Structure formats: C-alpha cells, structure tokens
Amino acid sequence: MQHTLEQTLRAEPASGRPAGLALLALAAASFGIGTTEFVIMGLLPEVAGDLRVTIPQAGLLVSAYALSVTFGSPAVAILIARLDRRRALLALVGLFILGNALCALATGYGLLMLARIVTALCHGAFFGLGSVVAADLVPARRKASAIAIMFTGLTLANVLGVPFGTALGHALGWRATFWAVVGIGFAAAAALFAWLPRNLPREGGNLLAEVRVLRRPQVLLAMLLSVLASASLFSVFTYVAPLLAATARATPNEITGVLLLFGVGLTLGNTLGGRLGDWRLMPSVIGLALALCATLLGLVPATRALVPATALIGVWGVLAFALVAPLQMRVLTAADGARTLASTVNQGAFNFGNATGAWLGGVAIGAGIDYGHLPLIGAGLALAVAAVGVVAHRTDR
C-alpha cells in the first residue's frame, strides 16, 4: 500500500512535474474544509452561550451547512465552469477563506448562519472539481488513489483538525478556531497557487448537455450508492457517543479514545479504498459493502463491552471510508462529458446521505429502538449498497 502511495505521488501530469505536490496542495485544502465542517459540533455550547441561543438552535448551523453543500454547490460549479480549473480551485479556496472570516466576525446568530451557508458553498464544488483534477494528474491506473490522497485531508481533519480546533475554541473562544481555519485556508491557497500545474484546462461542454449526462442510469446508480453508503455511516455514527454510553457504559474519556481510533480507521480506509478502486472498481465496492454489513451486524452484540466494541468500530471506520474514493471514481467514470458537475453533485449526494442517515437513526430512537440495535439500520443500508452495486456492475456497458 505504501509503495502504491509513493508511485501515485511521483506520477507526472501533463506538465511534466511530479503530481505529488499538487495532490498534497489539494489535500491541504480538504483538511481545512473538513475541519470547518465538523469542528462546530464540538463548539456548540460555546457558540450557543455567546450568541444567546439554545443548543438545538446552534445545531441548525450543522444542518444549514449540509443543505448548502447539497443544493448550493452545483450552482457554484456552474458559475465557475468558464474558469480554467486552477483559477476555479483558487476561487473556491478564496470563498472558503471569506466564509470562515465571516464566521469569526459574526456578531449574531443570523450572521453566523449566513456565514456557514457561504462557507459550505465551496465544499461540494471544491471536492467535485478537485476529484477531477486529482484524477487527471496521474496515469489511468492511479486515478482512484489520487482521489484518495486528496480525501486524506478530510480524514485527517477528523483525527487532528477537529480535536485541536475544539481545544483551541475551549481555551481562547470559538472565534479563535475560525481564525485558525482562515490561516489554514491561506496556507492551502498558497500551496495550490505554487504547485498546481498552470495548464489545467476547462472541461468545456454545453450546460444542457452536461445536465443530460446526469440522467444516465449509471450516473444515477452511482449517486444512489453514495447516498446509501453515507446514510449507512451516519445512521449509527451520529449517535455513537450515547450508544457507547448506554450499552458499554463508556465514560466521556473512553468515548473520545474510541472516536480517535475511528478517525484513524477513516484515514487507513481512505488509502485502502484508493488502491482497491484502482484494482477492480465495482467488485471492490460490492465486497467492501458486504464486509461493512457484516461488521455492523457484529457490532450489535459487541457493544455490550468496550474492548470488542472499540475494535469493531475501528474496523467499521476503515470499511466505511474505503468506499469514498471508489464511489467518487465511479461517478467520474460514468459521467464522462460532465465530470465536474457530476462529481460536485455527488458531494451533495454524500451530504444528503449524511442527513438521511442521521434522520433514520433519530426516527428509530424516537420509536423506542435501543441504541445498541442502531447498527442494524446501518447494516441494512450497507447491504443495499451491495445490491445496487451488483445491479450497476451487471448493467454496465
């Protein structure tokens, strides 16, 4: 796996320069975007207290971000379609910097909500366009691995960015965290400016024709896979803290340790998924989904004790994020002729899955299902991923 990573980083794009620095610049930007997306969750009490709103009201800042990614990012992708890809990526990072600066300066709840919506507009468009650029920087046999390298920034945000950002917010106030993210944005912009090839072209094409590409059955099936995979993850992960507290009697410190292990699993799974996607794309998606289903089924009895629960949650993290790069690559493959738009819409599909999974878990809890049985929902959704994957694979031309 390490050998494959090194080969991908050393691959040469059309510019003749090693692709590694450009991929690392994309990863740096994704680290900043991932940090700002998730760090707000650890700062909700501080934000609510400072802005004099309830914690549920502060929690809507998370929902608004996800909805902005889902519905706003495609519009942004259309607006930047006339720019060459290098300028488009720099413009998106500029929007990211502006949004986070507005978050830090917000004097009221309404202004912070607006700032979060603005910040989220760059999210899906950046990951969508960034996936296309990453794939084009390397040879065909390394494309999924290149996408995985970009998404490594997102996984590391959960392992490093969110914990440190939360600690900074607790020590110096929540605004300090957003100023720190602004700093990350400037560093990422400098890296992109210095290391991205200057000859990245526009994808071109007619907007109406690109929209028609999104109606292809294989594109729709690919996006359905993204929704289901993300829903499987968030139907359980959203409630993993109360789940561990209720079933394994885990303390807050123990839960923090489990979440850290889960974040490490995400990072390892991301690299694994890139390699599997380059090997055999759809068979890997189907196999990973079945393994994910089995792991979640095993988590039901395992949650009664902390040690087996922790071990399986680590495996769960590996398998859950191993699906991301292959699914993104599947969309790029199926949507030839509208890759940037389709890739961006797929980011909305992931976020729609996030919201759907969290909603399904909440409905189940409200209906009286024990926390310990939530993994059954995730397992069912993972099985659906495998089933849709089989259909997509068999009907692929």
Mind listing the pLDDT tens digit for each residue in 121-143? 999 899 989 998 998 898 888 88
Q: Are domains 1-202 and 213-397 of this chain identical in fold?
A: yes
Q: What is the pLDDT of residue 201?
A: 65
Q: Of the given ranges (28-32, 340-344, 375-379), which has the lowest mean pLDDT?
A: 340-344
Q: What is the pTM of this model?
A: 0.82
Over the range 208-222, which residues count as b (16 or more CB within 10 Å of their CB) and which as e?
eebeebbebebbebb
Q: Of the given ranges (1-5, 258-262, 287-291, 364-368), which has the lowest mean pLDDT?
A: 1-5
| DSSP-assigned states of every residue in 299-345 | HHHHTTSHHHHHHHHHHHHHHHHHTHHHHHHHHHHHTTT-HHHHHHH
Rounded Cα distance between 5 and 72, Å, is: 33
Q: How confident is the model at residue 242 (pLDDT cuts 50, 70, 90)?
A: confident
Q: Assess contact for 201 and 85: CB atoms under 8 A.
A: yes
Mean pLDDT of the chain: 88
Residues 6+ apart with CB under 8 A from 295: 312, 315, 316, 319
The pLDDT of residue 101 is above 60: yes
Domain layout of the chain by residue ranges: 1-202, 213-397
- The DSSP output letter for 140 is G
Please return the burial class of 16, using the count of CB atoms within 10 Å of its CB with bins 0-12, 13-18 and 19+. Answer: exposed
**How much of the chain, in percent, has pLDDT values that exceed 90?**
50
Q: What is the pLDDT of residue 16?
A: 47
Superfamily covering domain 1-202: MFS general substrate transporter like domains (1.20.1250.20)
Give the pLDDT mean for 326-336.
90
Write down the CATH number for the domain with range 213-397. Answer: 1.20.1250.20
Closest by CA to 151, choosing from 322, 6, 292, is 322
Q: Which residue has the tokens 């191993």?
A: 322
Which is more confident, 372 or 200? 372
CA distances to 264, 368, 385 from 297, in Å:
21, 19, 15
Q: What is the pLDDT of residue 14?
A: 44
Mind listing the pLDDT tens digit for each residue in 188-237? 999 999 999 987 766 655 667 677 888 899 999 999 999 999 999 988 88
